[in-house]
Structure 1
């Protein structure tokens, strides 16, 4: 039997001519899909494990300082939470691929896992946008930053982002279902769009525009103005500010990471859209889209592993919080050891006191 092509695991979309997402009629070469079955699941498990540990560590550090978080740290905490929840759903996809795209977890979990990925996909990306805007206000619009950069506004913005992600996940919640694919004799978790439905086209346009183009424009605009402001500041100063250099490098890293991780997936989604509107030959591109989407989507999820390294561990304030947590834990351990030592000394003293025998000094006169 020919290998089964992926069933909406990559782009959360479905081909308008069938219940399968990519190539409508030609099954992929078995050797290609055997490589997918062998390589992708271990990669997902490793990505999920490392990403969950790193994001959990970031959340734990911020939780210990929850009463004194800055605006930037609130956004970083929200980003870590979004990445953490997104990574929680990936092991189900790994098992899905290991089972050759047979979904054995029920219809409810099919909807929950995939809508969770979509919600946190948008929340994570727009949290990056809010981080870029916050840095823009802090370094370029310093006067506006005094009243715009407040922790209350940051918390409200995070809540709005989650509601926005939930709203954009409604098509996935409605159309995602477990369905038996007779052609490949498999029960798969797919986006079940009817023939000629505009939902797939709308979904992919939404992914390209709201999930990439618009966030990228905001990030590029903010980063470009920050770089110009830092360059002007460097020219006006007689000495070179090392912190400004680090900030500039970090901005370039943000843009590069965003493009490298999400760029290939978004390009392939755009090509798939062009095939749907018959600008490109769908049969010619079907094999490339089937394999390319499988590779590009998991490259995109690598962003959730790298985010805590880039945004948190590269920040000097986060490192200070980590050091503070370490010193606090060390002091508590010392205090505990000291208390244990003191209790041990007291216990030893009491035991020795109890072991002392009373000494009676006999008066010579009493013996007469």
Structure 2
């Protein structure tokens, strides 16, 4: 997930030029670290979220909660399934070999995951709020069909917010590398001051919009919902005891999302100063060069953490996973036993037939 507005700002030198160059060595180490983190997130994300999709989609009774968690898992699975493109891009020292369309699609999927995840968490928070504050109304109107419609609206909103990434993402050959970058000016002539100014203007607006719509506003709603929920639960110990387990799981997922994505959004805003002509600082350049790989890796890790949270905190989900896995093994072993029994019976009948013929 690149935050650079132009390919001229991409650091294409990822190998250390000399052992004495501390920052070059550090950037190279961060480059290797990012590759490792992306690889781990890809493998664990695809397997873990695939398991969640299988269990919530086919192994559990369809409820409103399973609809929410299924959508979270689909968003994370889709993101991690596209991670090999980013891994290849970095492994080839920022040489994009997949073409312009895939450059646009890959970036769109990245932001689709961000928006779909955060707005699903908003919907979950509002759902919990309604269940606690208006339990009778929720009992009547809280249905799986309505939850599915709401999830569809979340995906439509996430897609609309992700479309600018498809519009502005572009490829260009630079230093013998085909780079995938944000072409906010929709022009490849960055020698014209008006073009540069337009690119910076759009870059700033896109970053601020992403911060507000993908982080600040959703978390404002989430915090408001849970503040009221906590207040209500404190006044009703019986309800608090009944809601403790799902509340604990959902709160952990939301806090994890916040911790993983907050540094990325903060670093994106700090990065805007890099493109301010009136502000030149070598320290800022080093902070951005070091901070972007770290915060991006942390954001990417979020896509593979939820399945582990379900297993360690969600007892019902863990029991269902264990039961599902046991059923698979039982089926396999039972088929073997049946086949063995069939072979044994066939062999005995054959022997008995041969014996009768001989008599």
Which range, TM-score by smaller chain?
Answer: 0.7 to 0.9
Q: Against the structure 1 CA distance between its residues 157 and 258, is the aligned structure 2 distance closer, same or farther, given a 3 Å change threshold?
A: same
Cα root mean square deviation, aligned: 2.9
In structure 2, the residue matched to 1:180 is: 173
What is the TM-score of this pair, normalised by structure 2?
Answer: 0.83
User: Does the Cα contact within 8 Å between 2:121 and 2:254 map onto a contact in 1?
Assistant: no
- Helix, strand or coil: the match of 1:356? helix
Q: Against the structure 1 CA distance between its residues 89 and 337, is the aligned structure 2 distance closer, same or farther, given a 3 Å change threshold?
A: closer
State which drifts further: 222-231 or 322-331: 322-331
User: Does the Cα contact within 8 Å between 1:276 and 1:282 map onto a contact in 2?
Assistant: no
User: Any idea what the Cα deviations from partners look like across 1:240-273, whole Å, max 9, x if unmatched?
Assistant: 94x5444454354234312211111111122234
- How far apart are 1:286 and its partner, in Å? 2.9
Where do residues 116-265 of structure 1 align in structure 2 (5 Å cutoff)?
116-181=109-174, 184-194=175-185, 195-197=196-198, 198-234=201-237, 241=241, 244-265=243-264
- How far apart are 1:292 and its partner, in Å? 1.0
User: Does the Cα contact within 8 Å between 2:104 and 2:166 map onto a contact in 1?
Assistant: yes
- How far apart are 1:80 and its partner, in Å? 0.4
Q: Structure 2 unaligned runs (5+)?
A: 12-20, 186-195
Q: Against the structure 1 CA distance between its residues 337 and 185, is the aligned structure 2 distance closer, same or farther, given a 3 Å change threshold?
A: closer
**Could you say which structure has the higher helix fraction?**
2
Where do residues 18-97 of structure 1 align in structure 2 (5 Å cutoff)?
19-20=8-9, 29-65=23-59, 68-97=61-90
Tell me, yes or no, if structure 1 residue 300 matches structure 2 residue 292: no
User: Does the Cα contact within 8 Å between 1:102 and 1:186 map onto a contact in 2?
Assistant: yes
Separation in 2, partners of 1:185, 1:30: 21
Q: Against the structure 1 CA distance between its residues 317 and 344, is the aligned structure 2 distance closer, same or farther, given a 3 Å change threshold?
A: same
- Helix, strand or coil: the match of 2:173? strand
Separation in 1, partners of 2:325, 2:163: 43
User: Does the Cα contact within 8 Å between 2:45 and 2:303 map onto a contact in 1?
Assistant: yes
Q: Structure 1 unaligned runs (5+)?
A: 1-8, 23-27, 361-368
Q: Against the structure 1 CA distance between its residues 33 and 275, is the aligned structure 2 distance closer, same or farther, given a 3 Å change threshold?
A: closer
Q: Against the structure 1 CA distance between its residues 245 and 283, is the aligned structure 2 distance closer, same or farther, given a 3 Å change threshold?
A: same
User: Does the Cα contact within 8 Å between 1:179 and 1:187 map onto a contact in 2?
Assistant: yes
Q: Against the structure 1 CA distance between its residues 281 and 158, is the aligned structure 2 distance closer, same or farther, given a 3 Å change threshold?
A: farther
- How far apart are 1:21 and its partner, in Å? 6.1
- How far apart are 1:321 and its partner, in Å? 2.6
- How far apart are 1:187 and its partner, in Å? 2.3
Aligned length: 338
